[in-house]
Amino acid sequence: MVPLNSKPTEIKRLNEASLRITWENGEIVTLSSKTLRELCPCALCKEQRGDTTHSKPLTSKHSKLKIVEHTKDESLSLQSVSAVGTYAISIAWGDGHSTGIYTYPYLLELSKQT
Ligand SMILES: [Zn+2]
């Protein structure tokens, strides 16, 4: 069990589908891109939560037409990870999305879910 308020000592992008986090107590947790993307903390994703195709309705909300700009594979493809200050990381995805800021406490929370 990683203690609360822990910080990662290493965050490594293993491949397109997983991120490995080493916490300061030595515990290693691998998070899947699926988990990270589905729980992306940015405002847009929070709004769209539950819609895994990331489609945007072009017309009214009642229209049945869905415009899907990216395949699910692209949106789940971990492209790069970068540090945000000393408290968070941001992740760039294959579909160009990169506005999610994953704070350490949030990553810890995700670590406990897996
Ligand atoms: Zn997002």
Residue 36 CA to residue 62 CA, distance in Å, equals 30
What residue segments make up the domains of the chain, in order of their start?
A: 8-113
Long-range contacts of 64-69 (CB under 8 A, 24+ apart): 69/95
Q: Return the pLDDT at 50.
A: 65
Going from the Cα of 92 to the center of ligand 1, the distance in angstroms, rounded, reads 10
Question: For residues 33 and 97, what is the distance between their CA atoms, to the nearest angstrom?
Answer: 13
Measured in Å, residue 101 CA sits from the centre of ligand 1 at 8
Ligand 1 centroid, distance to 99 Cα (angstroms) = 6
Q: How far is the CA of 55 from the centre of ligand 1 (A)?
A: 13
* CATH 3.30.2020.30 correct for 8-113: yes
102: three-class secondary structure by DSSP: strand
Q: What is the pLDDT of residue 56?
A: 53
Contact 79/93 with Cβ under 8 angstroms? yes
| Per-block mean pLDDT, blocks of 10 residues, the chain (114 long) | 91 97 96 95 85 50 72 92 96 95 95 77
